[in-house]
Amino acid sequence: MAGQNCLITNEWICGEYVRTRGQELTDATLQHVGITLASVAIGLLVAFPLALLARRWRGVAGPVLGLTTILYTVPSLAMFSLLVPVFGLSVAVVVTGLVLYSLTILVRNILAGLASVPEEAREAARGMGYGPVRLLFGVELPLALPALMAGLRITTVSTVSLTTVGAIIGYGGLGNLIYEGMHSFFKAQVLTASALCVALAVLADLALLLLQRLLTPWARAGKRKKVAA
């Protein structure tokens, strides 16, 4: 009874809403996670070679960094709108937009991470007979991991948050529920979806932090950890 009332009186917090629309919430959350994962994964796959190219040729670094900074400046609603004629009203619009945003931070952080590798470590690896590929994946990449992971965390958290804007074309995960709730003035739906969205961002951040700890066991042995802002 009391549960029914909170739907009728349109309250912010409503257990009945969560009970009756559980499936809807799960579907939206899954779409949200899917879009975020796809965007961040593709972003990493594109950013890594771009960063390597930018490191190899200084002439590439300027345009790559400049272009990604310009992309970062474009507001999300405009970015998605500009991609609509290219992909139609499909999920590809949202994923592509989010990938383009992620490049800015990922490329910069991978470059910064690779630049922070001590020259001695490279020399030692070369002296041990490491070729360029083994040097990159065996020595440079592990040492660049802290900067890379810091960038990945920033990117992931802002991707989770930006996915909501995809609601404009119907692929916004939890953003779809916020968008619907906005039109029907459904407070419980808007608040629940917003809270889930923030929770997703926090969870993703913590998961990546844990992953970073697991991937860089040597950092824990160090006395002081520098907290990346």
| Contacts with other proteins, 61-90, as mask; x by CB under 8 A | --------xx-xxxxxxxx-xx-xx-----
Q: Which is nearer to other proteins, 78 or 128 (CB)?
A: 78
Give the H or E element holding residue 40: helix 22-56
Q: Is 59 exposed, middle or buried (0-12, 13-18, 19+ CB in 10 A)?
A: exposed
Q: How far is CA 104 from the centre of its chain?
A: 11
Nearest partner of 153 among 84, 188, 204, judged by Cα = 204
| Contacts with other proteins, 164-203, as mask; x by CB under 8 A | xx-xxx-----x--xx-xx--x-x--xx-xx--xx--xx-
| φ, ψ of residue 170 in degrees (nearest 5) | 90, 5
Q: Which is nearer to other proteins, 105 or 117 (CB)?
A: 105
The helix-helix angle for 141-163 and 22-56 (nearest 10°) equals 140
Residue 212 engages other proteins in binding (rule: CB under 8 A): no
Give dist(CA 187, CA 178) in Å, integer: 9
The two tokens of residue 158 are 């802002």
Q: Which is nearer to other proteins, 125 or 162 (CB)?
A: 162
Binding site for other proteins (CB under 8 A): 69-70, 72-79, 81-82, 84-85, 101, 104-105, 108-109, 111-112, 115, 151, 154, 157-158, 160-162, 164-165, 167-169, 175, 178-179, 181-182, 185, 187, 190-191, 193-194, 197-198, 201-202, 205, 227, 229
